[in-house]
Amino acid sequence: MVPRYARPAMTALWTPEARYRIWFEIEAHATDALAELGVVPRAAAEALWRWWATNPAIDVDAIDAIEAVTKHDVIAFLTWVAEQVGEEARFMHQGMTSSDVLDTCLAVQLARAADILLDDLDALLAVLKRRAIEHKFTPTIGRSHGIHAEPVTFGLKLAQAYAEFARHRVRLSAARADIATCAISGAVGTFANIDPGVEAHVAAKMGLTVEPVSTQVIPRDRHAMFFATLGVIASSIERLATEIRHLQRTEVLEAEEYFAPGQKGSSAMPHKRNPVLTENLTGLARMVRGYVTPALENVALWHERDISHSSVERYIGPDATITLDFALARLTGVVDKLLVYPERMQKNLDRMGGLIHSQRVLLALTQAGASREHAYALVQRNAMKVWESDGALSLNALLKQDTEVTALLTPAEIDAKFDLDYHYKNVEAIFARTFGD
């Protein structure tokens, strides 16, 4: 985790103290259930909660010192708690194994991280919707292969991003539900030394569901799907960031990141206004995606348990969620303050002498009786003259001078095919099915 790219709420989920507090709750709830079953004394569970009610500070350094000797983090934690609680703490962890605590804790952390990310997506969706409606009918050029194609609106660009991130919200909700599972099943997952009711009790208390078959660990296909979902979200962040970066290029300049008073773009060139935030988002997206492959490789563990996944998850759990949280918040800020230049958009629309209307002329010629092949050739031979003139010539004017074209279409009919508004007749319908209102 790099503090530069971290926000407090998400970071707080992954501190050692937060982890140990979750561990304690898991152990204490399990002891409650064991007491109900008569396996341990009720006083043991009460002693744990009585100590917890004092809201004790977790001495991370002391636990680390014990682990330096035991070489086992869960044993170090249990030892430290026993030193604080006293004699009754010996009934903690009855019939449990370390993975019961570690995996259930990770499920809690990832579920809570998902809740923050879902809130982040809601904030981004709200901004995308507002800006899309603002620019619903702001004309701009659509590009394919980076080349002028046909007109769109800037609102449609943002509506497409809204629909994309709305799908991600559904995916993340499903991934959250999938990851929020509890395993308190003991060594190799057979419940030989602990009743399944304990698992059900802990799951209910921690806001989880029970894992149907856990072996000694929760199956890592769940985690793989969770991190894959984060990776796909990151890719969409990059897609929108890349769009903004292209639109901010000097020769395009249809939109750009907000440039604050006093902000500097270059140490050498005072004129620079660089797309630094969206470039940063492109890099952060690469990092989040980079955590997906290790998560996929964690699925193939040996037999009922090994710990080859453990070191991986100590990295990717915090780093992927913290980085994505930061990236979503940054993208929301970029879209919220994005500077949009409709006049430049119109200038770029007009730049290539009307070539953007070539398809309408092609279709009109076919409807007037020309074969598609001949109609294509008629339009293309005039369009190439405009292209080679870098837009200095007019496609409309050249078509009116082409006798083979005018034999099929009148000047008024040609003019009608250069109507910009024609391309926007279904914008309202697209918005209605995107936003549902």
Cβ–Cβ < 8 Å for 337, 258: yes
DSSP character for 265? Answer: S
The half-sphere exposure of 349 on its side-chain side, counting CA atoms within 13 A, is 22
- CA–CA separation, 269 and 272 (whole Å): 6
Start-to-end CA span in the chain (Å):
41
What secondary structure does DSSP assign to 132-164, as a single string? Answer: HHHTTT-EEEEEETTEEEEEEEHHHHHHHHHHH
Q: What's the token pair of residue 277?
A: 């935030």
CA 288 to chain CA mean position, Å: 9
- CA–CA separation, 141 and 152 (whole Å): 6
The CA dihedral of 264, 347, 241, 428, to the nearest 10 degrees, is 140
Cα 2 to Cα 89, 286, 319, distances in angstroms: 37, 15, 8
Active site residues: 145, 266
Strand, coil or helix: what is 192? coil
Query: Is residue 267 exposed (0-12), middle (13-18) or buried (19+ Cβ within 10 Å)?
Result: exposed
Q: What HEC string does 158-169 produce?
A: HHHHHHHHHHHH
State the helix-helix crossing angle for 16-36 and 60-70, rounded to 10 degrees. 80
